[in-house]
Amino acid sequence: MNESLTPGSAEMRRVELPRCHFLFNGLGAGNIGDEAMFAGFNRLFRMQPGSTVEVYDESAPILKTLPTEFKYLTWTDGQRTDAAIRAAEVVLLVGDTLVSELHGIAWPLVPIGERVGRALELGQAVHGVAIGVDRLTTPAARAVFAKYHAHLTTWTTRSEACRAALLDLGVAADRVAAAADLAWLCPTALAHDPREATLGDGPIVAVNIVGEDWAADDARTVALTRALDRAAAHFSIQLAFVCNETRRHPVYDYDTACRLAEHMRSQPILVDPLYVTPQEQVTLLRRCRAVVSQRYHLGLMGVLAARPVGLFERGQKLVQLAEEVGAPSLGPHDVIDEDRVLAALEELLTRGEEVVARQQAARERLTLRLSANAGRFLRRPG
Protein backbone atom coordinates (compact mmCIF):
# COMPACT_ATOMS: atom_id res chain seq x y z
CA MET A 1 0.00 0.00 0.00
CA ASN A 2 1.25 3.51 -0.80
CA GLU A 3 1.41 6.04 2.02
CA SER A 4 0.39 9.67 1.51
CA LEU A 5 2.89 12.39 2.35
CA THR A 6 2.09 16.05 2.55
CA PRO A 7 5.02 18.52 2.72
CA GLY A 8 3.31 21.89 2.52
CA SER A 9 0.30 21.34 0.30
CA ALA A 10 2.03 18.92 -2.08
CA GLU A 11 0.44 15.48 -1.78
CA MET A 12 2.67 12.58 -2.72
CA ARG A 13 2.54 8.83 -2.83
CA ARG A 14 5.53 6.87 -1.60
CA VAL A 15 7.11 4.65 -4.22
CA GLU A 16 7.39 1.06 -3.04
CA LEU A 17 10.64 -0.61 -4.08
CA PRO A 18 11.88 -4.21 -3.77
CA ARG A 19 15.29 -5.06 -2.35
CA CYS A 20 17.65 -2.39 -3.68
CA HIS A 21 21.34 -1.66 -3.80
CA PHE A 22 22.23 2.04 -3.49
CA LEU A 23 25.53 2.89 -5.21
CA PHE A 24 27.94 5.30 -3.53
CA ASN A 25 27.20 8.99 -3.98
CA GLY A 26 29.15 10.54 -1.10
CA LEU A 27 26.85 9.49 1.76
CA GLY A 28 28.62 9.50 5.12
CA ALA A 29 31.75 11.30 3.92
CA GLY A 30 31.16 14.58 5.79
CA ASN A 31 28.88 16.70 3.61
CA ILE A 32 25.53 17.27 5.33
CA GLY A 33 23.86 17.71 1.94
CA ASP A 34 24.28 13.98 1.25
CA GLU A 35 22.30 13.09 4.37
CA ALA A 36 19.64 15.66 3.43
CA MET A 37 19.16 13.99 0.05
CA PHE A 38 19.05 10.53 1.63
CA ALA A 39 16.40 11.74 4.08
CA GLY A 40 14.36 13.11 1.19
CA PHE A 41 14.81 9.88 -0.76
CA ASN A 42 13.45 7.89 2.16
CA ARG A 43 10.36 10.08 2.37
CA LEU A 44 9.51 9.51 -1.27
CA PHE A 45 10.72 5.92 -1.70
CA ARG A 46 10.35 2.91 0.56
CA MET A 47 13.07 0.34 -0.12
CA GLN A 48 12.50 -3.16 1.18
CA PRO A 49 14.17 -3.75 4.57
CA GLY A 50 17.53 -5.40 4.08
CA SER A 51 18.36 -3.19 1.10
CA THR A 52 22.03 -2.27 0.94
CA VAL A 53 23.55 1.21 0.83
CA GLU A 54 27.14 2.11 -0.05
CA VAL A 55 28.66 4.73 2.26
CA TYR A 56 32.04 6.33 2.68
CA ASP A 57 32.79 4.50 5.93
CA GLU A 58 30.33 2.12 7.56
CA SER A 59 31.81 2.88 11.02
CA ALA A 60 31.11 6.63 10.78
CA PRO A 61 29.04 7.89 13.76
CA ILE A 62 26.64 9.79 11.48
CA LEU A 63 25.29 6.44 10.24
CA LYS A 64 23.62 5.98 13.64
CA THR A 65 21.17 8.70 12.57
CA LEU A 66 20.17 6.86 9.35
CA PRO A 67 17.35 4.30 8.97
CA THR A 68 18.22 1.05 10.73
CA GLU A 69 16.38 -1.26 8.33
CA PHE A 70 19.12 -0.97 5.71
CA LYS A 71 22.60 -2.46 5.67
CA TYR A 72 25.43 0.05 5.16
CA LEU A 73 28.60 -1.05 3.37
CA THR A 74 31.90 0.79 2.91
CA TRP A 75 31.94 1.56 -0.79
CA THR A 76 35.52 0.36 -1.34
CA ASP A 77 34.82 -3.10 0.12
CA GLY A 78 34.57 -4.80 -3.26
CA GLN A 79 33.76 -8.31 -2.07
CA ARG A 80 30.78 -7.24 0.05
CA THR A 81 29.45 -4.63 -2.37
CA ASP A 82 29.66 -7.12 -5.25
CA ALA A 83 27.59 -9.60 -3.25
CA ALA A 84 25.05 -6.90 -2.42
CA ILE A 85 24.75 -5.83 -6.05
CA ARG A 86 24.16 -9.44 -7.14
CA ALA A 87 21.48 -9.90 -4.47
CA ALA A 88 19.55 -6.74 -5.34
CA GLU A 89 16.44 -6.61 -7.51
CA VAL A 90 17.06 -2.95 -8.36
CA VAL A 91 20.34 -0.99 -8.41
CA LEU A 92 20.10 2.77 -7.94
CA LEU A 93 22.36 5.77 -8.50
CA VAL A 94 20.82 8.55 -6.46
CA GLY A 95 21.08 12.32 -6.08
CA ASP A 96 24.08 14.64 -5.90
CA THR A 97 25.91 16.21 -8.84
CA LEU A 98 27.40 12.97 -10.10
CA VAL A 99 27.94 14.05 -13.71
CA SER A 100 30.24 17.08 -13.55
CA GLU A 101 33.70 18.22 -14.55
CA LEU A 102 33.83 21.21 -12.19
CA HIS A 103 36.88 19.56 -10.58
CA GLY A 104 38.03 17.70 -13.69
CA ILE A 105 37.21 14.02 -14.18
CA ALA A 106 38.92 12.71 -11.02
CA TRP A 107 35.82 13.31 -8.86
CA PRO A 108 33.02 12.44 -9.12
CA LEU A 109 32.93 11.42 -12.77
CA VAL A 110 35.42 8.53 -12.86
CA PRO A 111 34.91 6.92 -9.41
CA ILE A 112 31.12 7.05 -9.59
CA GLY A 113 31.23 5.92 -13.21
CA GLU A 114 33.28 2.93 -12.14
CA ARG A 115 30.64 1.98 -9.57
CA VAL A 116 28.04 2.06 -12.36
CA GLY A 117 30.38 0.03 -14.54
CA ARG A 118 30.81 -2.60 -11.84
CA ALA A 119 27.06 -3.05 -11.45
CA LEU A 120 26.76 -3.46 -15.22
CA GLU A 121 29.56 -6.04 -15.23
CA LEU A 122 27.62 -8.00 -12.62
CA GLY A 123 24.60 -8.09 -14.93
CA GLN A 124 22.47 -5.43 -13.24
CA ALA A 125 20.62 -2.52 -14.80
CA VAL A 126 21.13 0.82 -13.05
CA HIS A 127 18.46 3.49 -12.61
CA GLY A 128 19.33 7.13 -11.87
CA VAL A 129 17.17 9.09 -9.41
CA ALA A 130 17.15 12.91 -9.09
CA ILE A 131 20.75 13.26 -10.27
CA GLY A 132 22.53 16.54 -10.92
CA VAL A 133 24.02 16.58 -14.42
CA ASP A 134 26.27 19.38 -15.67
CA ARG A 135 26.77 20.08 -19.34
CA LEU A 136 30.06 18.34 -20.17
CA THR A 137 32.32 20.09 -22.68
CA THR A 138 35.70 18.36 -22.69
CA PRO A 139 36.35 15.21 -24.75
CA ALA A 140 37.76 13.46 -21.66
CA ALA A 141 34.62 14.03 -19.58
CA ARG A 142 32.29 13.07 -22.40
CA ALA A 143 34.30 9.88 -22.97
CA VAL A 144 33.94 8.87 -19.31
CA PHE A 145 30.20 9.46 -19.53
CA ALA A 146 29.95 7.40 -22.71
CA LYS A 147 31.87 4.52 -21.11
CA TYR A 148 29.80 4.31 -17.93
CA HIS A 149 26.88 6.62 -17.26
CA ALA A 150 25.37 6.43 -20.75
CA HIS A 151 24.36 2.84 -19.96
CA LEU A 152 21.93 3.72 -17.17
CA THR A 153 18.53 2.32 -18.05
CA THR A 154 16.54 5.36 -16.90
CA TRP A 155 17.23 8.78 -15.41
CA THR A 156 15.40 11.36 -13.39
CA THR A 157 17.28 14.61 -12.90
CA ARG A 158 17.60 17.52 -10.49
CA SER A 159 16.37 20.08 -13.02
CA GLU A 160 15.26 20.77 -16.57
CA ALA A 161 18.78 22.01 -17.32
CA CYS A 162 20.17 18.67 -16.13
CA ARG A 163 17.77 16.84 -18.44
CA ALA A 164 18.93 19.02 -21.34
CA ALA A 165 22.55 18.17 -20.48
CA LEU A 166 21.74 14.46 -20.74
CA LEU A 167 20.06 14.91 -24.09
CA ASP A 168 23.19 16.74 -25.27
CA LEU A 169 25.18 13.66 -24.21
CA GLY A 170 23.01 11.45 -26.40
CA VAL A 171 20.63 9.96 -23.84
CA ALA A 172 17.23 9.22 -25.40
CA ALA A 173 14.49 11.64 -24.34
CA ASP A 174 12.11 8.84 -23.34
CA ARG A 175 14.63 7.62 -20.76
CA VAL A 176 14.84 10.95 -18.89
CA ALA A 177 12.43 12.98 -16.75
CA ALA A 178 13.15 16.23 -14.89
CA ALA A 179 12.46 15.99 -11.15
CA ALA A 180 14.15 18.10 -8.45
CA ASP A 181 16.69 17.76 -5.67
CA LEU A 182 15.73 15.11 -3.13
CA ALA A 183 16.64 17.41 -0.23
CA TRP A 184 13.44 19.38 -0.85
CA LEU A 185 11.72 16.50 0.94
CA CYS A 186 14.14 16.42 3.88
CA PRO A 187 12.16 16.55 7.16
CA THR A 188 12.67 19.85 8.96
CA ALA A 189 11.32 19.23 12.46
CA LEU A 190 13.01 21.32 15.14
CA ALA A 191 16.08 19.64 16.59
CA HIS A 192 18.46 20.64 19.35
CA ASP A 193 21.71 21.94 17.90
CA PRO A 194 24.60 22.34 20.37
CA ARG A 195 26.08 25.08 18.15
CA GLU A 196 23.17 27.50 18.58
CA ALA A 197 24.63 29.10 21.71
CA THR A 198 27.64 30.33 19.74
CA LEU A 199 25.46 32.65 17.63
CA GLY A 200 24.50 35.10 20.36
CA ASP A 201 21.46 37.38 20.09
CA GLY A 202 22.32 39.89 17.37
CA PRO A 203 21.26 39.93 13.70
CA ILE A 204 23.19 36.98 12.27
CA VAL A 205 23.89 36.29 8.60
CA ALA A 206 25.08 32.73 7.95
CA VAL A 207 27.86 32.60 5.35
CA ASN A 208 29.27 29.52 3.66
CA ILE A 209 32.53 29.83 1.70
CA VAL A 210 34.09 26.97 -0.28
CA GLY A 211 37.83 26.46 -0.68
CA GLU A 212 38.44 23.34 -2.79
CA ASP A 213 40.23 24.17 -6.07
CA TRP A 214 40.30 27.85 -5.08
CA ALA A 215 41.67 27.46 -1.54
CA ALA A 216 45.10 28.86 -2.45
CA ASP A 217 43.75 31.81 -4.45
CA ASP A 218 45.04 34.71 -2.33
CA ALA A 219 43.40 37.36 -4.51
CA ARG A 220 40.01 35.70 -3.97
CA THR A 221 40.61 35.54 -0.21
CA VAL A 222 41.50 39.22 -0.01
CA ALA A 223 38.51 40.26 -2.11
CA LEU A 224 36.11 38.12 -0.06
CA THR A 225 37.35 39.46 3.27
CA ARG A 226 37.06 43.03 2.03
CA ALA A 227 33.52 42.50 0.68
CA LEU A 228 32.29 40.71 3.80
CA ASP A 229 33.83 43.26 6.18
CA ARG A 230 32.26 46.05 4.20
CA ALA A 231 28.85 44.33 4.36
CA ALA A 232 29.12 43.69 8.10
CA ALA A 233 29.87 47.35 8.77
CA HIS A 234 27.31 48.75 6.31
CA PHE A 235 24.38 46.65 7.53
CA SER A 236 25.44 46.31 11.21
CA ILE A 237 25.26 42.53 11.07
CA GLN A 238 27.20 39.71 12.69
CA LEU A 239 28.58 37.23 10.16
CA ALA A 240 28.77 33.55 11.09
CA PHE A 241 30.71 31.09 8.95
CA VAL A 242 28.73 27.83 8.68
CA CYS A 243 30.09 24.61 7.16
CA ASN A 244 28.12 22.10 5.13
CA GLU A 245 31.22 20.10 4.18
CA THR A 246 32.43 19.32 7.71
CA ARG A 247 35.74 17.57 7.09
CA ARG A 248 38.83 19.28 8.50
CA HIS A 249 41.21 19.79 5.60
CA PRO A 250 42.85 22.90 4.09
CA VAL A 251 40.53 22.81 1.06
CA TYR A 252 37.23 22.45 2.93
CA ASP A 253 34.82 24.90 4.50
CA TYR A 254 36.10 25.37 8.07
CA ASP A 255 39.78 25.80 7.21
CA THR A 256 38.78 28.21 4.45
CA ALA A 257 36.63 30.20 6.90
CA CYS A 258 39.49 30.33 9.40
CA ARG A 259 41.83 31.79 6.77
CA LEU A 260 39.26 34.44 5.91
CA ALA A 261 38.53 35.27 9.55
CA GLU A 262 42.21 35.88 10.27
CA HIS A 263 42.11 38.88 7.90
CA MET A 264 38.69 40.27 8.82
CA ARG A 265 38.07 43.30 11.02
CA SER A 266 34.45 42.34 11.71
CA GLN A 267 35.36 39.29 13.80
CA PRO A 268 33.00 36.72 12.28
CA ILE A 269 31.77 33.77 14.32
CA LEU A 270 33.31 30.43 13.36
CA VAL A 271 30.60 27.84 13.91
CA ASP A 272 32.00 24.44 14.89
CA PRO A 273 32.20 22.12 11.85
CA LEU A 274 30.24 19.32 13.50
CA TYR A 275 28.84 16.56 11.30
CA VAL A 276 25.27 17.20 12.39
CA THR A 277 22.01 15.97 10.92
CA PRO A 278 20.20 18.04 8.28
CA GLN A 279 17.50 18.80 10.86
CA GLU A 280 20.10 20.27 13.22
CA GLN A 281 21.57 22.33 10.38
CA VAL A 282 18.14 23.72 9.48
CA THR A 283 17.52 24.52 13.15
CA LEU A 284 20.76 26.53 13.26
CA LEU A 285 19.87 28.43 10.08
CA ARG A 286 16.47 29.35 11.53
CA ARG A 287 18.37 31.42 14.09
CA CYS A 288 19.83 33.57 11.31
CA ARG A 289 18.35 36.60 9.59
CA ALA A 290 19.64 35.53 6.18
CA VAL A 291 21.80 32.88 4.53
CA VAL A 292 24.56 33.37 1.94
CA SER A 293 26.13 30.29 0.41
CA GLN A 294 28.64 28.93 -2.07
CA ARG A 295 27.27 25.40 -1.54
CA TYR A 296 24.07 24.12 -3.11
CA HIS A 297 22.63 22.29 -0.14
CA LEU A 298 23.48 24.89 2.49
CA GLY A 299 21.49 27.31 0.34
CA LEU A 300 18.67 24.81 -0.10
CA MET A 301 18.55 24.20 3.65
CA GLY A 302 18.32 27.94 4.18
CA VAL A 303 15.14 27.84 2.11
CA LEU A 304 13.91 24.90 4.21
CA ALA A 305 14.56 27.08 7.26
CA ALA A 306 12.41 29.84 5.67
CA ARG A 307 15.28 32.34 5.70
CA PRO A 308 16.02 34.61 2.72
CA VAL A 309 18.87 32.98 0.78
CA GLY A 310 21.46 34.53 -1.53
CA LEU A 311 23.86 32.45 -3.62
CA PHE A 312 27.27 32.88 -5.17
CA GLU A 313 27.68 31.50 -8.69
CA ARG A 314 29.85 28.38 -8.24
CA GLY A 315 29.38 25.88 -11.00
CA GLN A 316 26.30 25.21 -13.07
CA LYS A 317 24.28 23.83 -10.16
CA LEU A 318 24.29 27.02 -8.08
CA VAL A 319 23.39 29.14 -11.08
CA GLN A 320 20.45 26.79 -11.69
CA LEU A 321 19.37 26.81 -8.04
CA ALA A 322 19.45 30.62 -7.94
CA GLU A 323 17.26 30.74 -11.03
CA GLU A 324 14.84 28.12 -9.69
CA VAL A 325 14.27 29.72 -6.29
CA GLY A 326 14.78 33.38 -7.18
CA ALA A 327 17.86 33.80 -5.00
CA PRO A 328 19.75 37.11 -5.22
CA SER A 329 23.14 36.47 -6.81
CA LEU A 330 26.31 37.65 -5.09
CA GLY A 331 28.18 37.12 -8.36
CA PRO A 332 30.93 34.66 -9.31
CA HIS A 333 32.52 32.99 -6.29
CA ASP A 334 36.03 33.27 -7.69
CA VAL A 335 35.98 36.84 -9.05
CA ILE A 336 34.46 38.87 -6.23
CA ASP A 337 32.42 41.96 -7.08
CA GLU A 338 31.99 43.92 -3.84
CA ASP A 339 29.10 45.95 -5.16
CA ARG A 340 27.16 42.81 -6.18
CA VAL A 341 27.78 41.29 -2.75
CA LEU A 342 26.41 44.40 -1.04
CA ALA A 343 23.45 44.70 -3.42
CA ALA A 344 22.44 41.08 -2.80
CA LEU A 345 22.74 41.46 0.97
CA GLU A 346 20.70 44.64 0.84
CA GLU A 347 17.90 42.75 -0.88
CA LEU A 348 18.09 39.91 1.66
CA LEU A 349 18.05 42.26 4.64
CA THR A 350 15.61 44.96 3.50
CA ARG A 351 13.22 42.89 1.39
CA GLY A 352 13.61 39.58 3.15
CA GLU A 353 9.89 38.85 3.35
CA GLU A 354 9.55 39.19 -0.42
CA VAL A 355 12.55 36.91 -0.97
CA VAL A 356 11.18 34.31 1.44
CA ALA A 357 7.75 34.41 -0.20
CA ARG A 358 9.07 33.66 -3.69
CA GLN A 359 11.53 31.05 -2.40
CA GLN A 360 8.81 29.22 -0.48
CA ALA A 361 6.62 29.25 -3.60
CA ALA A 362 9.56 27.74 -5.50
CA ARG A 363 10.04 25.15 -2.78
CA GLU A 364 6.42 24.08 -3.19
CA ARG A 365 6.74 23.95 -6.97
CA LEU A 366 9.95 21.92 -6.88
CA THR A 367 8.55 19.53 -4.28
CA LEU A 368 5.59 18.86 -6.54
CA ARG A 369 7.86 18.19 -9.51
CA LEU A 370 10.05 15.94 -7.40
CA SER A 371 7.13 13.89 -6.10
CA ALA A 372 5.62 13.55 -9.57
CA ASN A 373 8.75 12.61 -11.49
CA ALA A 374 11.57 11.23 -9.32
CA GLY A 375 10.05 7.74 -9.29
CA ARG A 376 8.47 7.87 -12.73
CA PHE A 377 10.38 4.87 -14.08
CA LEU A 378 10.32 2.89 -10.82
CA ARG A 379 6.65 2.95 -9.85
CA ARG A 380 4.94 -0.41 -9.94
CA PRO A 381 1.68 -0.61 -11.90
CA GLY A 382 -1.51 -0.28 -9.88
Residue 131 within a domain: yes
CATH of the domain at 104: 3.40.50.2000
Do 57 and 19 have their domain in common? yes
Residues in the chain where the model's pLDDT stays below 70 = 1-12, 381-382
Closest Cα partner for 185 from 12, 382, 1? Answer: 12
CA dihedral 234, 239, 244, 246 (to 10 degrees): 140
Under 8 Å CB-to-CB from 288, ≥6 apart: which residues?
Answer: 199, 204, 205, 206, 240, 302, 305, 307
Do 169 and 212 have their domain in common? no
Do 19 and 101 have their domain in common? yes
Closest Cα partner for 363 from 313, 318, 303, 279? Answer: 303
Residue 36 within a domain: yes
pLDDT digits (tens, 9 = 90+) for 186-198: 999 877 888 888 8
Residue 297 within a domain: yes
Do 244 and 149 have their domain in common? no
pLDDT digits (tens, 9 = 90+) for 158-179: 999 999 999 999 999 999 999 9
pLDDT value of residue 12: 67
pLDDT value of residue 127: 98
Bridge partners (DSSP) of residue 238 are 204
Do 147 and 269 have their domain in common? no
pLDDT value of residue 7: 47
DSSP string, 82-118: HHHHHH-SEEEEESSEEE--BTBSTTTHHHHHHHHHH
Helices and strands, counts by H and E, the chain: 12, 18
Do 61 and 140 have their domain in common? yes
Range of the domain at 222: 196-350
Residue 355 within a domain: no
pLDDT value of residue 196: 85
pLDDT value of residue 166: 98
Count up the domains in the chain and report the number: 2
pLDDT digits (tens, 9 = 90+) for 331-342: 999 999 999 999
